[in-house]
A and B are shown apart, each in its own frame.
Chain A
Amino acid sequence: MFYREAGDFSTTYPEDSQTFPIKFDRYRYYVVLAFAFLVVPFIINDYWANAILLPFLIYAIAAIGLNILTGYCGQVSLGTGGFMAVGAYSCYKFMTAFPDLSMFINVLLAGVVTAAVGVLFGLPSLRIKGFYLAVATLAAQFFLVWLFNRVPWFYNYSASGQINAPERTVLGVAVTGPNTSAWAAYLFCLVFCVASAIVARNLTRGSIGRKWMAIRDMDIAAEIIGVNPMKAKLTAFAISSFFVGISGALFFALYLGAVEVGEAFSIQKSFLILFMVIIGGLGSIFGSFAGAAFLVVLPVAMKIVGADMLGMPTDIVAHLQLVVVGALIIVFLILEPHGIAQLWRLAKEKLRLWPFPH
């Protein structure tokens, strides 16, 4: 009733393998994109940008990155925070070393550097998997944070040990630094977020994505049908780290503006992104968005409801957040390991038949 696919036929293979084969989905996607690009920049204010939209877009990119690695290729990683730090610090180095470079290029270069670092720390995955790999990536997390703390070259010998984003522009509009307007930062992140999602979707539906999924589902069989496991795993690490690096660069330069690595990119960040992927849905691009939205909106919503409406002390609300997120993780792992994306899929299947389920 609400959701129709009757009369929607694909007559060619490209039509059948497109991202949204059902017309209804496709139009909804265009409407959302149009709204995000054409309407939101005119109504955005600082509060919305900083509390919800920027973190949502940036975390979504990181979640897409981790989802490629964990959800599609089955390699668990707890080093996301460390890789985001690589993105942030390499972006900072590029920003300060080449002041005339467009911010676009800076962020992309940060992604490339992170991809290289990701491949390096992905090497253990050739030998170990599961929990042991998770521990190996944990080493990456702690090592990278330590590195950025201890080697002054990375923060340009600043006295505070922090890195601060100088003003950089894209097409003459400031996107970083104190003079940035909310809409510019938002649009800049949005472009990266949409591009990441499209690229991730394209990669995961093609032959590279099938290699990743084959490795995830059964690595021995994957090798027997001709997948080079080393290449497949390392490309997954590279692509995943590329996205995570971009998100780290944006997180530093556009969202925070100033970063102290131990605070901004600690192990908590790794877990946060991992929770986004688990709650949103492993192996689903939509799930990355859903998980990011959920975990960004949840604290804000709880603060509004708990502190502003019910008058609870703020520290209790903050602790309550931890409790709720923890409980949700357990609930999702037990009841719906495929996350919000799967719930969404089930809802669609139900809606398709509504109101006559048989």
Chain B
Amino acid sequence: MDEGYTTTDGRKIGGVVMEMKNITLRFGGVVAIKDISFDIREGEIRAIIGPNGAGKSSMLNVMSGFYVPQEGEVWFHGKPRPQMKPYQVAQQGIARTFQNIALFEGMSVLDNVMTGRLTQMKSGLFAQAIWKGKAEAEETENREFAEKIIDFLEIQAIRKTPVARLPYGLKKRVELARALAAEPKLLLLDEPMAGMNVEEKEDMSRFILDVNDEFGTTIALIEHDMGVVMDLSDRVVVMDYGQKIGDGTPDDIRNNQAVIDAYLGVSHD
């Protein structure tokens, strides 16, 4: 099961990083996710698509530990993940971005990116209070890494700008930078291109591909723009009304009758 595969553009995809096993999530009487299973393999870009209200964001929230499913298990690196708080999930190497930007508006871009390094910064209270030795060395070391990410996403010019002053497209990029600064093993992107114009979408797509290529980061993303999804992703999960209706390569999905029905609608007569 753990041999992986090779993509059409010749990238090697490794073993399973995260596996969702029969996940069911209910909010009272509403079933948001119903018995869904799929896996995410190392180094791949995995898309989750579906019409509005299909349960995609809920799925991402289950993956990032924000929601606890009533049934089913999340397996991470070959082990069932015990129930844990979102910050513990983050410490395990899962980073995410949000559908509506969740940046720290009162802080500069650099500070926002540095918050992504928090899980790596371990110096104690007293070291930091006098700002000598470990605290200072650690700050510099992590700053170097943060600057690498800032460089990579081409946001050097705004590094000292308060986030509240930035336009929407740049905020999305800063949020990606913050997630990347955590050196995630698995990166979850919730609609990274929502509300962007064509050029911004192209930029963002390029960054996502570059991230996957250069850092080898495994990425799971939710997106509505079909063109983007089909171009970017290696495998796609399709959800509708909380159920999985398709899973496979973009080409499989394009020809899947259930998926076409869900998107275009069928007459129930």
Contacts and interface: CB of A to CB of B under 8 A. Distances in A.
B116 interface: yes
B111 A206 contact: no
B118 A226 contact: yes
Given A223-B87, A224-B64, A225-B95, A214 B115 contact: yes
A202 B126 CA distance: 10
Nearest to A19: B131
Nearest to A16: B143
Nearest to A239: B125
Given A218-B104, A226-B87, A210 B114 contact: yes
Given A207-B121, A214-B115, A217-B107, A17 B129 contact: no
Contacts of B104: 213-214, 216-218, 221-222
Interface in A175-208: 199, 202-203, 205-208
A202 B125 CA distance: 10
In terms of DSSP, what is the predominant structure of the interface of chain B? helix
Contact of A199 (B115, B118, B130): B130
Contact of B87 (A206, A208, A228, A235): A228
A223 B65 CA distance: 10
B156 interface: no
Given A216-B104, A224-B96, 18 more contacts: A13-B140, A13-B144, A13-B147, A14-B140, A206-B121, A207-B114, A207-B128, A210-B107, A210-B115, A211-B118, A213-B107, A218-B104, A221-B98, A223-B87, A225-B119, A227-B115, A227-B118, A235-B125
A208 B125 contact: yes
Smallest CB-CB A-B distances: 9 pairs: A226-B90, A221-B102, A217-B104, A207-B121, A226-B119, A202-B131, A206-B128, A13-B143, A223-B86
A213 B64 CA distance: 22
Contacts of A199: 129-130
Contact of B131 (A206, A222, A224, A225): A206
| Interface range on chain B (Cβ under 8 Å from partner) | 35 or more
Contacts of A122: none
A14 B178 contact: no
Nearest to A216: B106
A247 to B, nearest CB: 17
A12 B141 CA distance: 11
B129 A224 contact: no
Nearest to A71: B106
Contacts of B115: 210-211, 214, 222, 225, 227
Nearest to A201: B131
B66 interface: yes
A16 to B, nearest CB: 8
A220 interface: yes
Given A223-B87, A225-B116, A225-B178, A203 B106 contact: no
Interface string B135-177: 1101110011001000000000000000000000000000000
A224 B140 CA distance: 24
19 contacts: A13-B147, A17-B139, A202-B130, A203-B125, A207-B117, A207-B138, A213-B104, A213-B107, A217-B103, A217-B104, A217-B105, A218-B102, A218-B103, A220-B102, A223-B90, A224-B96, A228-B85, A228-B87, A283-B106
